[in-house]
Amino acid sequence: MNSALAQWQRGERGQVLWIDFERYAWRVFAGATAEWYQDPVRFAGTIGQALRVVRSDVVAIDVLAPFIAAWRAEATHEQVPVSVCALTDFLSQRPACLSFISEVADALQHSVGDRADLALKLFSPRDLLLAVGADEALASDFSALDDLGAALVELLRNLSSKAFACLQLHTLAPAGLSADEQDAYAPILRTAEYYGWITCLSFGGVHADMLPDCEAAIALYPEVAAEDLVDTAERRCGGGLTSRFWLGPDPLAGELALLHGTIPADAYPEAVAEKIRSLGR
């Protein structure tokens, strides 16, 4: 594998800039359209347009976002109950959502594949349950997490032919992943490794006072300042581009070989452009 992340892992390149910017692109470049997950050509074109400004070395595709949007739309009109059985059936019976992701992946590989890695971004089983309206009890149930983890493995299989460089498993839990979640996501990581994807765990709700370890190749802490992270050969990690960095006047705090973060959807375009320039891009 000769991706930017793989080269960085091998020590063959310097700093990697990994910015998640889909929701920002949706608001600023697509006018917050309600049809964001319906036209793959427009979606990919908008992401490519935004990348010219953001200049990230990695472009993440949130593969569950179309499914979540479709679930919420149906739940609004039909009162769809939240259960693991209903959700796993939903994931397997929405070919339009899978087709959307497949076409987006192909289009982005064609348009930006020569300047950015593609990452398959996936909510953790618990975060997916919470995103579709499940209560905390169901989202913490081991059997539910295990069954949903198996459904997500099947989703990865359906996308295995796409040119992804890595899997980005994402959680917003403030304390990272529970032991039950770790058991549930282990097959997801193994599947990604089988397909040759670099495995990354993104801890979106974690702050500097608690940095959980992970079994993935790279740990991402988008809300932890660079000065609070230590990247070593034994524990590769990235972060530093926090919400505070994007929304406030402060410059980047500290240095890190893998800078990672998410541009808030409500960030001002002029401020974002200035922040990107401050990173040397």
Q: What is the pLDDT of residue 234?
A: 63
Q: How far apart are CA 25 and CA 16, in angstroms?
A: 21
Specify the 3-state DSSP secondary structure of 96: helix
Residue 275 has, within 13 A of its CA and on its CB side, a CA count of: 29
Q: What is the pLDDT of residue 167?
A: 98
Q: What is the pLDDT of residue 230?
A: 82
Q: How far apart are CA 197 and CA 122, in angstroms?
A: 13
Q: What is the pLDDT of residue 273?
A: 96
Summarize the confidence of residues 171-175 as an average pLDDT: 88
pLDDT at 184 over 80: yes
Summarize the confidence of residues 124-132 as an average pLDDT: 95
- pLDDT-derived band at 28 (thresholds 50, 70, 90) equals very high
Q: Tokens 């974690």, residue?
A: 206
Q: Which two tokens stand for residue 183?
A: 């058991």
Secondary structure E strands in the chain = 16-20, 58-62, 117-123, 166-171, 198-203, 218-221, 236-241, 258-262
- pLDDT-derived band at 179 (thresholds 50, 70, 90) equals confident
Summarize the confidence of residues 255-279 as an average pLDDT: 95
Do 257 and 231 contact (CB within 8 A), yes or no? yes
No. of H helices and E strands in the chain? 12, 8
- pLDDT-derived band at 124 (thresholds 50, 70, 90) equals very high
- pLDDT-derived band at 90 (thresholds 50, 70, 90) equals very high
Q: How far apart are CA 245 and CA 242, in angstroms?
A: 5
229 burial (CB, 10 Å; 0-12 / 13-18 / 19+) is buried
Give residues with Cβ within 8 angstroms of 203, minimum separation 6: 171, 173, 176, 211, 212, 214, 219, 220, 221, 222
Q: What is the pTM of this model?
A: 0.94
- pLDDT-derived band at 233 (thresholds 50, 70, 90) equals low
237-242 — which CB contacts under 8 Å span 24+ positions?
238/16, 238/18, 241/19
Summarize the confidence of residues 211-231 as an average pLDDT: 89
DSSP 165: S
Do 144 and 129 contact (CB within 8 A), yes or no? yes
Do 193 and 211 contact (CB within 8 A), yes or no? no
Higher pLDDT, 177 or 34: 34
Q: What is the pLDDT of residue 253?
A: 76
Mean of the per-residue pLDDT values for the chain? 93
